[in-house]
């Protein structure tokens, strides 16, 4: 029996890898991506990624995007109210499970499981327990390309914000920093993935520091290195 899955989508590398792994399972159909947005900023919370870039990710993945609008500030009660509505919609639309890109934080996993209790939705954790140093190298080797959009400056130098998540980035991480940033050291935006039909061409913009975090803005660019002007939906273009 085919299991219909809603994938929690942060816009980052772990979500992209979860999608890649789920699509290799013959009994699973990922039907949509679920993303929470800070409505005041019109961006993904923590990752600070523009909504239009997440929409491009969904288009490249060939999936619907379920956008959950969060107020700012957002209380835990507000968040849980909105997620209950999402669960009700998922059940009504015949979805069987919700998948998450969590790696090893037991308290986060326990919270996800508890929130889905009694909803009729099964929690899935396709990347859970993979050693993160190995996982980071696997993702990069498979063609995942991501930009660092947020750094916790109490854990990692602000100079890491805006860099690409690649072998050089991994090699330069200080001791004690998780290779996938699972302890909140950094967050990413994926612009190329085996799960995408085509890359998303991006440019790096302004860098700002706020509440102990350094954020680097990324945006779509319609010019590639060959000088082509591209359409954001098709990536086709002319000189």
What is the distance between the alpha carbons of residues 182 and 196, in angstroms, rounded to a whole number? 23
pLDDT above 60 (res 233): no
Which of 3-17, 64-78, 82-96, 135-149 is the least confident region? 64-78
Distance of alpha carbon 108 from alpha carbon 111, whole angstroms: 5
Q: Quick one: how far is CA 85 from the chain centroid?
A: 21
The domain defined by 3-124 folds into Rossmann fold (3.40.50)
What is the pLDDT, as a whole number, of residue 238? 33
Handedness of CA 142, 60, 14, 7 (dihedral sign): negative
Q: What percent of the chain has pLDDT over 90?
A: 87
Pairing of strands 64-70, 229-230: unpaired
**Chain segment 129-185, per-residue pLDDT in tens:** 999 999 999 999 999 999 999 999 999 999 999 999 999 999 999 999 999 999 999
Question: Does residue 58 register a pLDDT over 80?
Answer: yes
The whole-number average pLDDT for the span 214-221 is 95
- What ranges do the domains of the chain cover? 3-124, 132-234
């Amino acid at each position: 029996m085919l299991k219909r899955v809603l994938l929690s989508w942060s816009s980052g590398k772990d979500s992209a890898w979860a999608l890649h792994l789920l699509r290799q399972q013959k009994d699973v159909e990922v039907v949509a991506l679920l993303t929470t947005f800070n409505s005041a900023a019109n961006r993904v919370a923590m990752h600070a990624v523009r909504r239009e870039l997440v929409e491009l990710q969904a288009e490249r993945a060939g999936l619907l995007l379920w956008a959950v609008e969060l107020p700012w500030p957002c209380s835990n009660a507000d968040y849980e109210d909105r997620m209950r509505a999402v669960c009700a919609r998922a059940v009504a639309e015949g979805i069987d499970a919700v998948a998450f890109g969590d790696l090893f934080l037991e308290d986060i996993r326990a919270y996800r499981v508890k929130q889905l209790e009694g909803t009729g939705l099964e929690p899935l954790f396709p990347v859970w327990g993979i050693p993160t140093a190995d996982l980071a190298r696997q993702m990069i080797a498979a063609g995942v390309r991501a930009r660092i959009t947020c750094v916790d400056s109490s854990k990692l130098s602000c100079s890491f914000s805006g860099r690409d998540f690649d072998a050089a980035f991994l090699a330069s991480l200080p001791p004690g920093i998780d290779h996938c940033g699972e302890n909140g050291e950094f967050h990413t935006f994926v612009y190329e993935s085996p799960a995408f039909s085509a890359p998303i061409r991006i440019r790096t913009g302004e860098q700002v520091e706020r509440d102990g975090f350094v954020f680097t803005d990324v945006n779509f660019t319609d010019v590639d290195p060959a000088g082509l002007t591209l359409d954001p939906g098709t990536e086709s273009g002319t000189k």
